[in-house]
Structure 1
């Protein structure tokens, strides 16, 4: 591998860190320095690894968002863990009828900065305290700590986005307020340390993504509001 290839590979990993991570990185680094000062070598080197991981966790890379009316873009990095017809949670204030929900599960190595799936105004933000069971479980949608955003497009069509804290996550951070306007791909919050984001599509809209697919926040197309094609299926290859 050439020196330039190595530099390019490192630069892809050491992307800008979101400011929300600064104090956590500082805490990990300070503890690590104390351990070196105390001469506890093995723990100190473990601290180095954890400090680097913390910086990696809070990375906030630039993304290239597809621009076309009707596209619904993934709000999170991770694995699409479920696509199913469900009744939206009451906190979204959507119609009480089954719609397609797409769940994106983020592990502790995924980017945790969340982005808006569409151009829309935030009509409602609701924080719901709760448990911290594995976010990959279906019951996490109702039991876990979560934050629900109701997004309204210019024509009045609404989409729900719910950030769900997971087994390790203990804080959902928002960067926006009600009545703010978001562009597709714009950052609206993050979840610390392992979690999930659910997207509730308007009635009749089907997913263009597949279960098991890896999604990239701000880039991967989950659905097309203007399409009438049936739900897609996929296979490992």
Structure 2
């Protein structure tokens, strides 16, 4: 397992801050052993929590033009038929995966193909499970078309804490199934919109592993 590039600068900054803070405590109040111990313990725990947030584990990615792979680690919180009003403007099956701060937060392509549509939307920072977070929050929308002409839309959505969405692809790019296409810092969700005839392979409250769990079959 490696550490994701989005965490490098933050982790280095935290190391410097904690080193300076704890060194100052030892220098200015050397007799305060209890305070020093508490400070070191809190620093280590906090650093490890942030470190695990940016972990980037290796995954065994199943391949198949008819497979739709989970774009993120998390929990399935929505499976429903709904109207997708930004790109398709018709009825689709929506699957939403919520990521807690303890999940891996990189975003993966659910299918292989060509990105036919990409748009970044600035917006609000409602909690990720709010009904209007899909349309009102800061978000990105991507549509990938596979070689069979089937299109899948997926959307990174910021939450109350997740205020930094990163993406590494653009319209016209060719992407591989399970490959990383972005990152959401500190918890949020990803929505996937599928054709109505897709077979859903997950259930509500099921835990997913990005790049491994097959959430649907086209």
TM-score (norm. length: structure 2) = 0.91
Structure 2 equivalent of residue 36 of structure 1: 22
SS in 1 for 2:11: helix
| Within-5 A mapping of 1:100-179 | 100-179=93-172
CA contact (8 A) 2:65 2:146 kept: no
What is the CA–CA distance in structure 2 between the aligned matches of 1:187 and 1:21, rounded to whole Å? Answer: 15
User: 1:44: how far off?
Assistant: 4.3
Q: Which one of the candidate residues 53, 56, 59 is aligned to 2:55?
A: 59
Q: Deviations over 1:7-62 (max 9, x none)?
A: xxxxxxxx200111100111211111121022163344322222111111111111
- Stretches of structure 1 that go unaligned for 5 or more consecutive residues are 1-14, 226-237
Distance 1:224 1:155 in 2: 13
1:79 aligns with 2:75: yes
The secondary structure found in structure 1 opposite 2:21 is helix
When residues 44 and 31 of structure 1 are mapped into structure 2, their CA distance, relative to the original with a 3 A threshold, is: farther
Using the TM superposition, name which of 36-45 and 140-149 deviates more: 36-45
Which structure carries more strand by proportion? 2
Taking the aligned partners of 1:142 and 1:43, their CA distance within structure 2 comes to 42
- In the TM superposition, residue 165 of structure 1 has moved relative to its aligned partner by 0.7
- Cα pair 1:131 1:145 within 8 Å, conserved: yes
Of 24-33 and 186-195, deviating more is 24-33
Q: Number of aligned residue pairs: give it.
A: 208
> More displaced, 32-41 or 209-218?
32-41
Q: TM-score normalised to the size of structure 1?
A: 0.84
Q: Equivalents in 2 of 1:45, 1:28: separation in Å?
A: 14
CA contact (8 A) 1:78 1:110 kept: yes
State the match for 2:92 in structure 1.
99
Where structure 2 has 5 or more consecutive residues not aligned to the other structure, the ranges are: 26-34
Greater C-alpha radius of gyration: 2
Q: Which residue in 2 is equivalent to 1:24?
A: 10
